[in-house]
Amino acid sequence: MVRLIASLVGAAFVFVLGLALFGTVSDWITNPPPESAEHEFHREALDAGLPSNGVLGRFDRRQVQRGFQVFQEVCSACHSLKYVSFRDLRQIGYSEAEVKAIAKGWKIEQPSINAETGEASTRPNVPSDRFPSPFANEVAARAANNNALPPDLSLMAKARHNGANYIYSLVGHGYVNQPAELLRKFPGAKTPTGLHYNQYFANLNIAMPPPLTQDGQVTYSDGTRASVDQMAKDVSAFLTWTAEPNLEARHSAGFAAVIFILIFCFLAWGAYQNVWRDVKH
């Protein structure tokens, strides 16, 4: 009797679930969701072609250094890099003396408290310091950016889908004139005042003005031509490194693990053949 009741309850539960699923699918077919400007005009990110892509990818340190230069001269005016220390720059090829010079010469000094007076003050950065925020707090950041809060870029390449390609596409190729077809199909989708149309941003309208506006905006120390496309690639390479500085070690460890597993499987197969070679089947 208990089994019969349990079976009936289970059957009723499955029936209710099936009925709900049928109702949802039927409603979706008869009343499909309306098309949106974001769904139709949002573009998939372009391929930046970075050397760090792929299972065996490695950083091009000259490119990452160029990307740091773009961040330093363009992005750092609004964006923080709070999870990266100046001394971490040693990993991308800067010498100890260069790191000290970069830290000391950084345009934003480190907030500090005067030990004698207890008043807030600042001091020059040292290599062990993390990159200071360009704003004292969130209120100041919003006040300087039309109430928009510039996100920290330390982990941006991991925080966004297809991160490196997304950053490259957004800053290098995303800012275009709003398509006439979009305004014709969606008259209410006109970019609001204070925002900027970007075909790679999720809702097509972004508060950040175009950061890379012209070729030669940055003068690379290694002589590379600083086109908008090149600067976008380089800064995306740098932000890929800040998000995952151990990427090369992880790739090397993964490759070594695969080789070990293959060798182990071969040895296990050989041992199996040796143990059972005289057994008649």
Map 83-138 to HEC letters: CCEHHHHHHHCCCHHHHHHHHHHCCCCEEEECCCCCCEEEECCCCCCECCCCCCCH
d(Cα 215, Cα 70) in Å, to the nearest integer? 12
Q: Is the pLDDT of residue 219 over 90?
A: yes
Q: Is the pLDDT of residue 38 over 80?
A: no
CB atoms within 10 A of CB 104: 13
d(Cα 193, Cα 229) in Å, to the nearest integer? 27
Instruction: For 65-98, write each residue's pLDDT tens digit.
Output: 999 999 999 999 999 999 999 999 999 999 999 9
Question: pLDDT grade, residue 205 (50/70/90)?
Answer: very high
Q: What is the pTM of this model?
A: 0.83
The pLDDT assigned to 82 comes to 95
The pLDDT assigned to 162 comes to 93
Residue 1, marked binder? no
Residue 265, marked binder? no
| Mean residue pLDDT across the chain | 89
4 contact partners, CB below 8 Å, separation of at least 6 = none
